[in-house]
Amino acid sequence: MQMFNYLLSYLINNVFILMIGMLGVYVLTGLTGMFSMGQAAFMAVGGYTAAMLAKFLHWPLIATLPASVLMGALFGLLIGLPAVRLRRDYVAIVSLGFGEALVAFLNNSASLTGGALGLTDIPKYTNEYIIIGALVLIIAFIWNFKKSRFGRQCIAIKSDELAAASMGINVARVKLLVFVLAGAISALGGCLYVHTTTYLDSSAFGWDQSSMWIIMVFFGGINSLTGSIFAGIILGLIPEILRFSNELRIVIYCLLVLFIVNFRPEGLFGTVEWDMRTIRRGIGKLSGRIKAVRARKDVK
Amino acid sequence: MMLLDIQNLAKSFGGVQAVKNVSLQVDSNRIVTVIGPNGAGKTTIFNLISGIYKADAGSIQFCGKEIVGLPQHEIARMGVSRTFQNIRLFMGLTVLENVMTSLDPAGSYSVFSAMLTLPQKRRQEKENRNLALQALELVGLADYRDEQPKNLSYGLQRRVELARAIANKPKLLLLDEPAAGLNPREVQEFIGMVSSLRERFGFGVLIIEHRMQVVNELSEHIYVVSFGNLLAHGSPYEVRNNPDVIKAYIGEEAKR
Amino acid sequence: MNYYIQLLVNGISTGAVYAIIAVGWALIFSILKFSNFAHGGTMVCSAYAGMLLTRLVGANLPLVLVISALFGGLVNVGVEFISFHRLRQSSKQVLLYFVSSITMGLLLQNIVALKFSGIFYSFPNFFPVRFLNWGGITFDVADITMLCIAAVSIAALVTVLRRTRVGISIRALSMDLGATSLMGVNVNFVVLTTFFVAGALAAIAGVFVGVRTILSPQMGTLYTVKGFMVCVIGGLGSLSGALWAAILLGLVETFLTALIGAGLAPVGTFLFMLVFLILRPQGIAGQFVTDKA
C-alpha cells in the first residue's frame, strides 16, 4: 500500500507534469511532422517565467500560469518564424540549437536566474488536483484540436505538404500556429513543474529531456494522442518502479524503445485513437466474442 | 471571359525547357483534354497553373485574374482543384477526413473555438461532414467513409481523390492522368462520373490523359502538346486527322 | 596580434575535431539520407575503450588509435544492426530513423555512464613534450598531431572513395540506392562498410577529444549536436561541405568563447547558424532538390 501511494504520488507530481511538456512535442512532431528537438527549452521558458514572477514579484498561481503560457507562445512564435521558412529537416536543427542556446543562457546568467545552481524556494502553489486538472484540460484541448479542421490540416501537412497546399491549406501559417501552440503547452508544463518541485535547475530542460519526449510520442504511435498518453505513463513510471540507478533505467528504457522500433515501428497504438466510436466498436467486438464462446459452451 | 486563359507559357528547369510556348483556354462547363507524348511538359503545365512552379514567361489568367506568382494555397482557394498523377491522399486521416480537408481552409472558426468545442465549431464540423459525405456519395464511396485510404484499392483511392477535389465546389478541376492504373470497366465508370459531375456543378475540367477511351468520349476540345510546344488543338475529329499530330505519335511514311 | 593568431590556431584545432566527426556523419547521411544521432554515442564508447586500453598498454598513441578505431567501427556496425537494419527493409518514414538513432545514442551514452560516471577519467600523457612555443604562440603538440591524423584520415577516405571499388559503390549508393543494388552491388555490405568507416572516424575523434579535454559520458550528446550542426551548415550529405563547415564552426566558437565566455558561446553559435541558414539554406556545399510533383 505504501508502494502504491508512493507511486501514485510520483505519477501525479512527476510524470503527469512532464507529460504536459511532452504533449507539446505531440502537437508539433506527432501531428504536424516537424521534428522538434529542443521542446524542453519551452518548458524552461515557462518554468523560469513562473519562478521569477512568483519569487520576486510574489505573483500567485492564477497570474504566473497565464504569464508562462504567454511567454511560451511568444517564444514559439519567435522560433517558428524562421523555422517554417526553412526546409523541414532544418526545423530539427533550429529547435535543437534553440534548446542548447537557451540552456546555456540560463546556466550563465547567474544574477537573474540563479545560474547553474538554479533558483530555490519557489512558492509551492500546486497540489495533486491542480495537476490532474491541468493535464485533463490540456488533453481535452488537444483532442478537440485534433478533431477540428486544424488537426486535419496538421495531419495533411505531415503526410504530404505539396498536396496540402494544393487543397488551399496555408502551410506556413498552420505550422506557425502549431509552433505557438506547442510552445504554450510545454511552457504550461514548466510552470507547474516549478511550482511543484519548488526549485529548478536547467538540467531538466536539456536535450536529454527533449529526446525523452520524442521517444514517448513515437512509442505511443505518432498520430495517436491516446498512444502518447499511455506511453507517457508507462515510460514515465517504469523507471521508477524498477528503482535502479538513473543510468540503468535509461538503458532499459532505450532497449524497450529499440525493441518497438524493430518489431512494431508504428508505435503501440499506431493511428488508433480511443474515441467514443472506437471504444463502442471495441466493446461490441468483445461482447460478440463472449457471446460466441458462450454459444459454443451451450452446444457442448 | 474565359475561366482559364493561358498565353505563351514558358518554363525551364536548369537547361531543360519543359514548356516552350503554350497557349490554351478552358471555359466553364467544358471538358478540355491535353494529350501528348511522355515528357511533353503536360504535368508541368498543371504544376504551373496550380502554382507549384512559377512560370518564366507568359500569363495564366483565372476568371480574369493573373495567377502567375501567387502561392499555391491562394490559387486553390480561388477555386482551382486538382488531382495528382501519383495518388496523394493523406495517410493518417480517414476517407471522410481526407475529403473534409478541402473544405477546411475555408472554415471560419478559430483555434480557441476548436479547442473549447464551441457551438460555432460544432456547427461547422457538422456542415462540413455532410458536404464531404455528399461528395463521397457522388462518387459512390459513402460506405467507405471511415476507412484508412491505404486499405482501399487503387481505383477506389482515385475516386476518393476525386471526391476530395470536388467537395469544395471548385470552378476549375485539373485531373492529371486520372485513368492511369484503372481497368477498362473502371475507366468507363470514371468517364460517367466526370461527365455527370460536370453537368451537376458546371465547372470547367482540364484533363491530362493518355487513355484514348477517355480522350475520345469526354473531351470537347483537345490540345496536343509535344516537347513543350503546342502542336495542334481542336475537336477530337480535327485533332485525330491533323497530320502533325499523326507524325508526332506514329511517324510519317518513309520516303522511297 | 599574437592573441588573434593564437585564437586562429585554437579555432582550427577545434575545427579539426569537428571535422572528423562531421565527415563520418556526412558519410552516413549521404548514403542513407538520414542523420545518425547515435554517432556521438559511438564516439564516447570508443573514447572510453581507448582509455581502458591505455591502462593495458600504456601511453602508446598509435596503438590506441588503431584499436579504438577498430572498436568504434565494430560498435557502429552494431548500431546499424540494432537501430537501422530492419527499418531500412520496411519503412521509409524519416521520423522512425530519427527516434531509433536518438535512442541508440542515449543507450550507448548511458551504458558508458553506468560504468564510468562520477569520476572524471582522462588519457595519460602521450607526448613527452606537450606544449611548444614558437614566435610567442603556444602550440599544443596534441592538436598538431590530431590535425595531421585528421588530414591523413580524411585524405585516406577520399582516396578510398575515389579509387577503390568499395568507395565507388558508396558514392553510387549515395546517388541512387535502388539502381546501385540492381547493378549487382551488395548494398548491405557497402552500408556496413560505411558504418564501420564512420565509426572508426568517430573513435579517432573521441580519442582526441579525450586528450584535449576530459572524458565524460555527456560527450556523446554534446558532439552529436555539434556534428549535426556542422553537417547542416556544410550542406547535408556533402563531405567537403562538412569539412569546411567544421573548421568554420571551430573558428566561430573559439572567437565567441574569447568574446563572451564559454558559457554563453552556444547562444552565439546558435544565432550564427540561424543567420547562416536563412542566408544560405542549402549550406555551404549542398544543393536544393525539388520534389517531383
Residues of B in contact with A159 (CB under 8 A): 90-93
Q: Is the pLDDT of residue C291 over 60?
A: no
A265 to C93: CB separation less than 8 angstroms, yes or no: yes
- Mean pLDDT, residues B163-188: 90
Q: Is the pLDDT of residue B67 over 80?
A: yes
The CA-CA-CA angle for residues B4, B6, B7, to 5°, reads 150
Q: Is the pLDDT of residue A116 over 60?
A: no
Q: Are A223 and A266 in contact (CB under 8 A)?
A: no
Q: What is the pLDDT of residue A275?
A: 72
Counting residues of chain A whose pLDDT is more than 70, the rounded percentage is: 92
Q: All domains of chain B, ordered by start, with CATH?
A: 1-79+170-256 (3.40.50.300), 95-169 (no CATH)
Q: What is the pLDDT of residue A114?
A: 62
C238-275 pLDDT tens trace: 788 888 889 888 888 888 888 887 777 888 888 888 88
Best mutation target among C87, C274, C275 (most A Cβ atoms within 10 Å) is: C274
Q: Is the pLDDT of residue A71 over 90?
A: yes
C-alpha distances in Å from residue A61, one per residue of A191, A240, A299, B102, C137 = 9, 29, 65, 42, 57
User: Minimal Cα–Cα distance from C237 to chain B, Å?
Assistant: 22
Lookup result for grid cell 505539396: A162
Q: Is the pLDDT of residue A180 over 50?
A: yes
Residues of B in contact with A275 (CB under 8 A): none
Confidence class for position A111, pLDDT limits 50, 70, 90: low
On the CB side of B247, CA atoms within 13 Å amount to 8
Measured from the Cβ of residue B245, the count of other Cβ atoms closer than 10 Å reads: 21
A157-171 pLDDT tens trace: 988 888 999 999 999
Confidence class for position A283, pLDDT limits 50, 70, 90: confident
Q: Is the pLDDT of residue B255 over 60?
A: no
Q: Give ipTM to 2 decimals.
A: 0.89
Lookup result for grid cell 564508447: C45
- Mean pLDDT, residues C173-183: 74
Q: Which of B52, B92, B105 sits opposite A169 (nearest CB)?
A: B105
Q: Is the pLDDT of residue A195 over 80?
A: yes
Cα–Cα distance, B255 to A142 (Å, whole number)? 73
Tell me, yes or no, if A248 comes closer than 8 A to chain C by beta carbon. yes
DSSP-assigned states of every residue in B160-189: HHHHHHHTT--SEEEEESTTTT--HHHHHH
Give the neighbours of chain B: at least 3 Cβ pairs within 8 Å.
A, C
Global pTM?
0.85
Confidence class for position B77, pLDDT limits 50, 70, 90: very high
Q: Looking at A139-143, A236-240, A276-280, which range is the least confident one? A: A276-280
Nearest CA in chain B to C293: B47
User: Minimal Cα–Cα distance from B92 to chain C, Å?
Assistant: 13
Cα–Cα distance, C188 to C186 (Å, whole number)? 6
Counting residues of chain A whose pLDDT is more than 90, the rounded percentage is: 25
Confidence class for position A135, pLDDT limits 50, 70, 90: very high
Write down the domain spans for chain C.
Answer: 12-219
Q: What is the pLDDT of residue B32?
A: 92
Residues of C in contact with B52 (CB under 8 A): 293
- Mean pLDDT, residues A256-269: 80
- Mean pLDDT, residues C102-110: 87
